[in-house]
Amino acid sequence: MYDLLLLASTLFYIAVVFIYVHRPAASVFHPASLYLLFHGFIFVLRPIVARLMDFEFVYATFKFQPSLSDKMTVILAANLGMVTFVATAMSVARQPVVFERDTYDEISRRSLRKPFIAAAMILAPIGLYSIYDYWMSSASDASTMVFDAETNIRINTTGSGYFFEMQLVLASLSVVTAWLYRFRWWALLPFAFFVFLKAGSGGRGAFVYASFALILLWLWENRRKWPEWRAMALGVGVLLLFNFVVADRGKAIRSLVVTDEARTYDRAALKPLEHMDFANMEYFEYLVYAVPQRSGTYDYFLSNLQIFTEWIPRALWSGKPVGAPIKTINLFDYGSPLGMTNSLPGMGWYEWGWIGVVIQCAVFALIFGFAYRWLLIGRRSTFALLVYMLFLATAVIGFRDGSLLSTIRMSLFYLVIPLGLWWGIARMLNIPGAMAMREDAQRRLPQGAALQERAAMTPAERRKALARLVPASR
């Protein structure tokens, strides 16, 4: 029965993809494309591999065994989540991408380089020191992160979580550098350096995010709706590096620079794709196993209250709760789910079962769908383009984590801090954006017969005429 369900799930996925790619809005820049990629790998390909190779690692680690009913529920709920996300995203983001660029886009791009360098000079030293500190603590096996005895959630016992996360701004700074300078080889050096540093720290999410953001911006720069061989080659390289870092948590890379005394763990017994970074299917099975069969209740979206408490440092709030301020379920009462990430449909199940899957996936689809419509389609400006592309890249991790808090936390360090400071400096220097320059040029256009003459121009002649109307100081 389970094998037949896997076959039906695969055929259903192929049908949804076939329908989607024939829609006008379908492209790599649409959020539905990313969700289909995530779902296809986690809930279509990997369950087949797990069935053929008999994955048991997560079950043994978490100390549970799902029933056939639990496993079937996961496949059905995951497909419900896929349909909900794709249908919702397509309903609010129907417009196809149009690769429009004119003189004002190019002027804006060049004029924003100086304020970007100023912002990078402020943020990069903080980010580099943050990642250096993490390298040293990892190399000496002296992490100050501990598991809370009651909830088994990792908390920072010393220092500031804000300082620890500041290393993430380097990801966006390196990607924007490559884009600002048109992906010249020397403009890619900061990106390569960041990937090396982050891989050496043992972290994987940040360089996966940066790689995907780089691919998105490169495809946009080259007016391509779908990846081609160079983008795919980078993706394969990232996957290989990901698996290399998983093997020893960056020890081999750190050893090239510093003396590393961190302990290593034997992972040779794991089968391909069995490790925990890709195990959202088993995590979802654990959620179905525990909620509400053993917990007797759902969370009813109370975990989202942590969005309001997360930002207060423990140094200012000694009694700050670990995790969500109100908890109805402790998943550690039913096993040992250390390191578990819920996934988007899994988080929905945790919140409210089948209804929760629909709500959670629909909410994320609305967020990313409206971002697509407002930023990528509705506005033609440098910052709108970059905000959307960097935000879309967070989905690579956000769909895996499944919580609104995770996406908001990533957005703070990947988008708000680096792009916000850059935008603020540009405003202080009174540098106009592309849209402002276009509006100003429109106001300066001659009226009457001159407008008819302009209408007869070719697009190239019109761009040159508009460019001459831009004040020289801009």
- Pairing state between β 145-147 and 154-156: antiparallel
**pLDDT tens digit string along 443-467?**
776 544 444 444 444 556 555 555 5
Q: What is the pLDDT of residue 472?
A: 43
The amino acid sitting at 115 is P
Q: What pLDDT is recorded for position 260?
A: 66
- Residues facing 155 on adjacent strands: 146
- The predicted structure's pLDDT at residue 384: 93
Helix 205-221, helix 382-393: angle, nearest 10 = 140
Name the token pair of 328: 């109805």
At 191-247, the pLDDT tens digits run 999 999 998 888 889 999 999 999 999 999 999 999 988 888 988 888 888 888 877
The owner of tokens 């039913």 is 334
Position 471 scores a pLDDT of 46
CB 454 within 8 A of CB 465: yes
| Mean pLDDT, residues 165-182 taken together | 95
Residue for token digits 């499944």? 402
pLDDT in tens, 330-374: 999 999 998 899 999 999 999 999 999 999 999 999 999 999 999
Please give the Cα distance from 296 to 251 (Å, whole number).
43
Tell me the mean pLDDT in the region 139-163: 62
pTM of the model: 0.90
Cis peptide bond N-terminal to 325, omega within 30: no
Could you give the 3-state DSSP secondary structure of residue 154? strand
Nearest to 287 by CA among 55, 1, 46, 73: 73
* Predicted pLDDT of residue 415: 95
- Report the C-alpha gap between 75 and 426 in whole angstroms: 49
Of 434, 425, 364, the closest CA to residue 400 belongs to: 364
Cα(339)–Cα(115) distance, integer angstroms: 40
> Which of 179-188, 262-271, 442-451 is the most confident on average?
179-188
Q: What percentage of residues in the chain have a pLDDT greater than 70?
A: 88
State the pLDDT confidence band at 257, using cuts at 50, 70 and 90.
confident
- pLDDT for position 320: 79
**pLDDT category of residue 267 using cuts at 50, 70 and 90:** low
How far CA 279 is from CA of 272, 282, 385, in Å, comes to: 12, 5, 33
